[in-house]
């Protein structure tokens, strides 16, 4: 309940702010492909929504939510012919520091580094004939996140972005390749 009140109060305060006070804030969203470093896991679709503050034309800070996807794998166990299916989801919050290098008036390259507070949820089902067992396990942690990308300004407020992000997660490193849009206030 406290979080809802805090979000409403924050939204109201932002709506009262003037346009010039918001000039350095932005929101961005990406969608793309997540590829885990584990051979048993398939690739998955991921997405990210973030907000940030542009300190100057070279540096920014940003944070938001990232969903790296739901990864499937199927494996036959050695005992009594059981088949095991698992769906693994990885998601969390990240905070990064961004350094940009303007290449031209409309195009820049950037690198970012920060932390990713993640949650790894595995839903495992084992079955043989008419017998089925199901279990869900959740693991969480905080690890490094970093990436590189490019931004092309379509207008002073709207840009398209493409990036490669790397998440060093304890249970499975994941690479995320995405594209999206950025709106500057």
Count CB neighbours of 10 within 10 A: 10
Structure tokens belonging to residue 53: 């503050």
Summarize pLDDT for 13-62 with one digit per residue, the tens.
Answer: 555 554 555 668 999 999 999 998 877 778 899 999 999 999 999 999 99
Whole-structure pTM value: 0.78
The domains found in the chain, sorted by start residue, are 24-184 (2.40.160.20)
Tell which phi-psi region holds residue 8, choosing left (phi > 0), alpha (psi between -120 and 50) or beta: alpha
Closest CA to 109 of 174, 62, 58: 58
């Amino acid at each position: 309940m406290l979080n809802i009140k805090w979000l409403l109060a924050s939204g109201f305060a932002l709506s009262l702010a003037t346009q010039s006070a918001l000039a350095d804030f932005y929101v961005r969203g990406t969608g793309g492909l997540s590829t885990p470093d584990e051979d048993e896991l398939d690739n998955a679709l991921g997405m990210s929504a973030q907000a940030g503050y542009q300190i100057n034309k070279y540096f920014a800070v940003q944070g938001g939510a990232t969903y790296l996807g739901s990864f499937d794998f199927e494996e036959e166990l050695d005992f009594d012919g059981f088949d095991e299916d698992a769906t693994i989801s990885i998601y969390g919050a990240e905070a990064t520091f961004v350094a940009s290098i303007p290449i031209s008036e409309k195009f820049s390259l950037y690198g970012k580094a920060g932390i990713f507070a993640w949650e790894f949820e595995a839903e495992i089902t084992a079955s043989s004939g008419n017998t089925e067992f199901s279990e869900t396990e959740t693991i969480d942690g905080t690890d490094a996140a970093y990436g590189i990308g490019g931004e092309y300004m379509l207008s002073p407020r709207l840009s398209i972005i493409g990036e490669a992000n790397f998440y060093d997660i304890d249970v499975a490193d994941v690479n995320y390749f995405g594209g999206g849009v950025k709106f500057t206030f």
